[in-house]
Structure 1
Amino acid sequence: MNVNTNYSVLPPSNQNKVTTKSKLGKDDFLMLLVTQLKNQDPLNPVDDKEFLAQLAQFSALEQMQNLNESFNSVKAIALIGKNVYATINDGNGNYKEVFGKVDAVYRENGQYFLKVKGLDIPLDAVRAVTE
């Protein structure tokens, strides 16, 4: 007996969502995992070992992201009071070199910034650090 397994659980309007993110995160991974479970063949479901391996990968991804976030915060805070050399984009496509003492650190939209001479310097723009 032939069974038709070509079915969809989402309305057609939700199937073609396009994102412009350049990186996949833990939410994207979880969404893929849930979509895989929703659309699996009921006569040949995902092997439990494979499913557990995917959950372990999800957990490992989440912990790596948390560790990276912690590392960036420690790195940014450690720069307070030190002199940094950075190259920043002024918004017009021109690059500006900044050298000065880090007065403060703040976080916005998941990214750390340093206050140097009244300018906001992204942490990843720092090229050198001196005492």
Structure 2
Amino acid sequence: MTVIYFAGSIRGGRGEAELYGQIIEYLKEYGKVLTDHTGGLDLAKVVVAEVTTHDLGVGFEIGKALERNEWINGSDRKKILCLYRPSDGKRLSAMIAGCEGLTVGKYAKIEEARRHIDDFFRK
């Protein structure tokens, strides 16, 4: 079973809790989802982050996964998907957009996010 770590903004994204819950429920079709704390990040093979709301904690978790990948070869590297909803006043972080080690999926509706998740896990 694939272990998946989900990261989403806690403080700034409180209004997104329902959306995060929908993403987490869908991710369960692909494996066991960890969300509790960064300790679980080490156990995960896959990281899925909702990055619409800028959050230092989510950035830290993504950075930690990317740093680990620098020291690991091939198939043992963590796959990282960042989901982002473009909207007025919310732009994708340039650090996320320009990072080669990340897959970014833009979506407006949960169905589009699910398609990005499906495509990501099929790779």
| TM-score relative to the length of structure 2 | 0.25
Higher relative contact order (CA 8 A, sep 6+): 2
Greater share of residues in strand: 1
| TM-score relative to the length of structure 1 | 0.24
Greater share of residues in helix: 2
Which structure would you say has the larger Rg? 1
